[in-house]
């Protein structure tokens, strides 16, 4: 039998999933205020008190302002007044143009620019230390186990790598008892500034859900005698809340790999076996390579997945395949047959019809849907709904897992094979471990992780 050769290219528009939680790692209600005290072991040894407040907010964008005025500081303490513009977007919380503005840095502080002229860079306030080296994003979301991100500065050649270390209890004066915080470590390198190596070092920020940063420690480069900057939250009118779960149901981890077995008694004469590996990762996005090992399909695929505040989404895929399998056609009817979707790999089955595959911080009962007017409908011609069922025990050849189950019901008008009920199981730090797609034509596709 002659194999038909098909090159399939998929480009999906990102579809926002409903957030499972309405709170924020940095709330910005109009009345929100925070008071910090900070010191530098060499350049600001007298504690300086600063009040931070929300100056303006519009949609997902907001501006914070801070001042040392009226805070009862000693006469020799550092004075600072400034603003910083931020935005909550798909990648998390970022600093946006016009970035920040404040009075000039104290003359006693190292110059963090390449020349002695006017220099906008400063580490003479709490929020300057919070944002230093990690502007976009300042805080990546969702915060899941293994989350890392990188940043690059402009003229000052600042580079950084931030890592979500995990959660831990932290004690600060703002709260009567320890609060659970997300710990973010940022390794910062600045080269070419007159004040080198003051702008380099290891910065650790503790973020409390519903509050924002509660503690900052910047161990500047230069050895055991190098300066250390510490900022601690003294008071706030915000309420500390438990952080969302950081379980990573589909890790964007370079080197993650596995092998799947896919069966369909009606359409596959023998099991299809395929392997995958994540070979590139950058700031919440990953490139996933798929190769067919045995069975009626021969394929080589390239998938790009993102993990953002709109959830886990397959944003694009390119698959070259030759198949002996005689699958029924898929829609939508509005597209020519050469541009319609195909099922060549488990990831085609996983992401077909409805994106995101998983919402942000998914919990049992979460649901999202696509309708006839959605951007997903233009790609797939599918209407349907996904619902998180909760954590279930599931056994596959690769082992037994406590996996998050997601059920999707979908209808592709005129195409029974693209309609039906799909249940996907995702295991922590492994990703997809099982998928069952009960197609509308009466057949069932079963995908299981074998190793």
Domain limits, the chain: 4-15+247-449, 33-236
For all residues of the chain together, what is the average pLDDT?
A: 91
Give the number of C-alpha atoms closer than 13 A to the C-alpha of residue 244, restricted to the C-beta side: 20
Partner residues linked to 282 by β-bridges: 285
Whether 360 has a pLDDT exceeding 70, the answer reads: yes
Q: How far apart are alpha carbons 30 and 36 in whole angstroms?
A: 19
The band of 1, judged by pLDDT with boundaries at 50, 70 and 90, is very low
- The domain 4-15+247-449 having CATH identifier 2.40.360: the answer here is yes
Compare 119 and 410 and report the one with higher pLDDT: 410
Number of other CB atoms surrounding residue 104 within 10 Å: 12
For residues 230 and 152, the answer to whether their CB atoms sit within 8 Å is no
Q: How far apart are alpha carbons 346 and 65 in whole angstroms?
A: 49
The CATH label, of 3.30.1310, 2.40.128, 2.60.40, 1.10.3470, for the domain at 33-236 is 2.40.128
End-to-end CA distance of the chain: give it in Å, rounded: 31
Structure confidence at residue 3 (pLDDT) = 38
Compare 75 and 404 and report the one with higher pLDDT: 404
Structure confidence at residue 95 (pLDDT) = 92
The band of 99, judged by pLDDT with boundaries at 50, 70 and 90, is confident
Compare 106 and 274 and report the one with higher pLDDT: 274
Looking at 223-284, which runs of residues are DSSP E strands? 228-236, 257-263, 272-282
Q: How far apart are alpha carbons 410 and 374 in whole angstroms?
A: 14
Q: How far apart are alpha carbons 201 and 423 in whole angstroms?
A: 46
| SS3 assignment, position 338 | helix
The band of 76, judged by pLDDT with boundaries at 50, 70 and 90, is confident
Token pair of 47 as six digits: 């504690």
Structure confidence at residue 430 (pLDDT) = 96
State the Rg of the chain over Cα: 26
Which helix or strand (DSSP H or E) is residue 46 part of? strand 44-58
Give 184-221 pLDDT, tens digit per residue.
999 999 998 999 999 999 999 999 999 999 999 999 99
Whether 54 has a pLDDT exceeding 60, the answer reads: yes
The proportion of the chain whose per-residue pLDDT surpasses 90, expressed as a percent, equals 78
Number of other CB atoms surrounding residue 146 within 10 Å: 14
**380-407 average pLDDT score:** 97
Token pair of 45 as six digits: 């040894």
Whether 377 has a pLDDT exceeding 90, the answer reads: no
Token pair of 448 as six digits: 């299981």
Token pair of 91 as six digits: 């990648």
Query: Whole-structure pTM over 0.85, yes or no?
Result: yes
**392-407 average pLDDT score:** 99
Whether 402 has a pLDDT exceeding 80, the answer reads: yes
Q: How far apart are alpha carbons 128 and 120 in whole angstroms?
A: 11
Structure confidence at residue 153 (pLDDT) = 67
Q: Which residue has the tokens 């860079």?
A: 121
Whether 105 has a pLDDT exceeding 60, the answer reads: yes
Contacts of 212 (CB under 8 A, 6+ apart): 25, 26, 27, 34, 238
Compare 375 and 381 and report the one with higher pLDDT: 381
Structure confidence at residue 154 (pLDDT) = 55
By DSSP bridging, strand 179-190 and strand 201-208 are antiparallel
């Amino acid at each position: 039998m002659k194999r038909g050769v098909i090159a399939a290219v998929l480009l999906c528009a990102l579809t926002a999933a409903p957030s499972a939680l309405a709170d924020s790692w940095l709330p910005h209600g109009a009345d929100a205020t925070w008071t910090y005290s900070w010191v530098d072991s060499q350049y600001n040894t007298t504690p300086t008190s600063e009040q931070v407040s929300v100056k303006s907010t519009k949609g997902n964008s907001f501006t914070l302002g801070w001042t040392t005025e009226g805070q009862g500081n000693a006469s020799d303490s550092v004075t600072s007044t400034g603003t910083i513009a931020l935005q909550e977007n798909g990648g998390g919380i970022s600093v946006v143009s016009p970035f920040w503005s404040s009075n000039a840095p104290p003359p006693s502080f190292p110059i963090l620019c390449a020349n002695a002229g006017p220099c906008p860079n400063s580490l003479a306030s709490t929020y300057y230390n919070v944002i230093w080296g990690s502007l976009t994003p300042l805080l990546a979301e969702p915060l899941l186990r293994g989350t890392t991100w990188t940043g690059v500065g402009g003229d000052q050649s600042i580079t950084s790598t931030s890592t979500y270390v995990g959660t831990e209890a932290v004690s600060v004066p703002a709260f009567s008892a320890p609060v659970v915080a997300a710990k973010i470590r940022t390794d910062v390198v600045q080269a070419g500034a007159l004040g080198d190596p003051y702008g380099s070092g290891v910065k650790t920020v503790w973020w409390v859900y519903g509050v924002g940063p509660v503690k900052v420690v910047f161990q500047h480069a230069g050895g055991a005698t190098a300066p250390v900057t510490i900022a601690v939250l003294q008071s706030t009118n915000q309420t500390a809340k438990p952080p969302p779960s950081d379980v990573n149901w589909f890790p964007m981890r370079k080197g993650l790999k596995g092998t799947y077995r896919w069966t369909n008694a009606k359409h596959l004469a023998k099991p299809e076996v395929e392997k995958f590996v994540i070979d590139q990762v950058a700031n919440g996005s990953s490139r996933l390579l798929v190769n067919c090992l045995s069975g009626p399909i021969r394929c080589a695929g390239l998938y790009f997945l993102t993990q953002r505040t709109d959830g886990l989404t397959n944003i694009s895929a390119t698959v070259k395949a030759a198949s002996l399998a005689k699958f029924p056609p898929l829609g939508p009817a509005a597209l020519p047959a050469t541009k319609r979707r195909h099922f060549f790999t488990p990831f085609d089955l996983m992401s077909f019809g409805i994106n995101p595959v998983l919402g942000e911080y998914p919990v049992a009962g979460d649901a999202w849907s696509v309708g006839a007017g959605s951007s997903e409908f233009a790609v797939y011609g599918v209407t349907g709904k996904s619902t998180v069922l909760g954590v279930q025990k599931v056994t596959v050849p690769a082992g037994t897992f406590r996996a998050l189950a997601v059920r999707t019901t979908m209808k592709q008008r005129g195409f029974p094979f693209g309609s039906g009920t799909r249940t996907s199981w995702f295991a922590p730090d492994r990703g997809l471990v099982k998928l069952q797609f009960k197609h509308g034509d009466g057949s069932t596709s079963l995908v299981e992780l074998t190793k």
